[in-house]
Structure 1
Amino acid sequence: MGMNNTMRSDKETDKGQTARSGPQSVGRIFSILEVLSSSRAGATLSELASTTGAPKTSLVGLLAGLVAERCLIRNEAGRYFVGPRFIALAMKTVSGRELVTLLKPVMEELVEQTGETAVFAVLDQEGDLVNYVAKVESSNPIRYAVTVGERRELYCTALGKVLLAHFPADQRQAYLEKTLLRQHTDNTLTDRAALEQELKRIRDEGIAHTQDELFIGASGIAAPILSSDGTVIGALAVAGPTERFIANVKIHEKYLVKAATECTLLAGGLPAPQKPGNRP
């Protein structure tokens, strides 16, 4: 009897530990995400242990798993940041759908002002493509057209280049090292050094440009949309047939920056300060 009681007790203890450890791990994951989503500078293992109240030994495995699933990013300095999979998932939630609804009037006004197509996009779940999630097309018979849900490469699209430019440095470097830069047209940037220089210009000036880079005859510009902690959560673009678009690109830039600022405010973010030398 004593042995049977002991065995039952051991099993009950194991079940109790398993039941507690599961919810505890889930709680710690949410604590980690809450801390990182409110910090532009990310956090180290020690900082996460301190802010979440969890032992480092308990966090190591969780953090490794979240990095492996691209929910988090860990840079060379050992700092953790919210990753593309988590951001993409957040954009698919109700709040993300509500954001698209909020942005639509701004996009419609942008189309009215420029006469060209407006597109809102986010990073896809894997973090290496741009995903078009909303559009308002120009009424012009000859216009730029996209399909909502379509995914395209980052390095040769205006929307993609905005998102890529604002990757953490190590994530951007990893993307450039693993991605085959295909020559879609004569204007496609396939030299990594030249592309990195272009991405720096985008960070400095706040606008990405493409001219016949993915398709001959299609050009566009894009600007980032920021969340409350300064994270780039998406990008807004205006695009059209190259000849007509380039002839009016300067005025399009002004309207785009204004629209992207309004979208950032609707997303609960603060617009990035304009830097000296910005085009708008």
Structure 2
Amino acid sequence: MAQDRVEAVERALTVLEAFDSPQEHFTLAELAKATGYYKSTLLRLLGSLARFDYVQRDDHGHWHLGHAPVRLARRNLPGRHLATRIQPLLARLAADTGETATLLEVQDGMAECRLVALPETSLRHDLQPGDRWAVMDDHDPRPVLPGGAMVCEALPGDALESPMWLALSGPAGRLDTRRAKAALVDAVARLVAGPGGSFRETSP
């Protein structure tokens, strides 16, 4: 309905739509041509979008999408489909090993627990989806665990996707790292060999 329209919001969304293109980086002139907006108007819109990390400007003055669209997309359907495929696998890992089984993701120097299955024991590594911690290396998602240990196995992906791992963690004196590693390698192989050959499918 016309009364529900907010012109400034629609202009900002029009700018974002311009990035739905095989071209990844745009000059201000290219965005002006794609949207039909004056450069002065575009700069104001891009400034607001940049403050919320929907777009970013590189050192050459070119504009590209920021992290916010990807972050929001992760919260939608692909995340639910990921849970459908991986949560039962985590439950099996936790039951077979007696340790905490998790799906971890690293983005911007922070590791996040995306999915978890806890073993039926009171002495365990308690993690919940959404728990986050800083990491020194994007290729090592393990947190500092005094008295504990974590074993990880990377999931295959490409350079445009945030790195993900399956992990098993628990008390250092109980966790059998060799057995845990073997279980994780087997789990990753089964995921990759599943429907379509990719665990990162985005359609149900």
Answering whether residue 185 of structure 2 is matched by residue 254 of structure 1, we say yes
Do the aligned residues in 1 keep the contact of 2:56 with 2:63 (CA within 8 Å)?
Answer: yes
What TM-score results when the alignment is normalised by the length of structure 2?
A: 0.66
In the other structure, the counterpart of 2:148 is 217
Unaligned runs of 5+ in 2: none
Distance 1:113-1:44 versus aligned 2 partners, 3 A rule: farther
Q: Residues of 2 paired with 1:265 and 1:257: CA distance? A: 10
The Cα RMSD (Å) is 4.0
Match among 5, 17, 22 for residue 30 of structure 1: 17
Q: Residues of 2 paired with 1:259 and 1:61: CA distance? A: 49
In the other structure, the counterpart of 2:67 is 84
Unaligned runs of 5+ in 1: 1-17, 156-160, 166-201, 203-207, 270-280
Fraction of identical pairs, as percent:
16
Question: Which protein shows a greater Rg?
Answer: 1
Q: Residues of 2 paired with 1:225 and 1:138: CA distance? A: 26
Q: Residues of 1 paired with 2:83 and 2:120: CA distance? A: 21
In the other structure, the counterpart of 1:151 is 132
In the other structure, the counterpart of 1:106 is 89
Aligned ranges 1:15-94 → 2 under 5 Å: 22-32=9-19, 34-35=20-21, 42-45=24-27, 49=31, 52-54=34-36, 57=39, 58-78=41-61, 80-94=63-77
In the other structure, the counterpart of 1:11 is none
- Superposed displacement of residue 146, structure 1: 0.4
Q: Aligned with 2:116: secondary structure?
A: strand
Deviations 1:177-213 (A, max 9, x none): xxxxxxxxxxxxxxxxxxxxxxxxx3xxxxx364x73
Distance 1:231-1:139 versus aligned 2 partners, 3 A rule: farther
Number of residue-to-residue matches in the alignment:
193
Answering whether residue 170 of structure 2 is matched by residue 237 of structure 1, we say no
Distance 1:20-1:83 versus aligned 2 partners, 3 A rule: closer
What TM-score results when the alignment is normalised by the length of structure 1?
A: 0.51
Q: Aligned with 1:100: secondary structure?
A: helix
Q: Residues of 2 paired with 1:245 and 1:111: CA distance? A: 13
Q: Aligned with 1:149: secondary structure?
A: coil
Do the aligned residues in 2 keep the contact of 1:99 with 1:266 (CA within 8 Å)?
Answer: yes
Question: After TM superposition, where is structure 1 displaced by more than 6 Å over at least 4 residues in a row?
Answer: none
In the other structure, the counterpart of 1:181 is none
In the other structure, the counterpart of 1:265 is 198
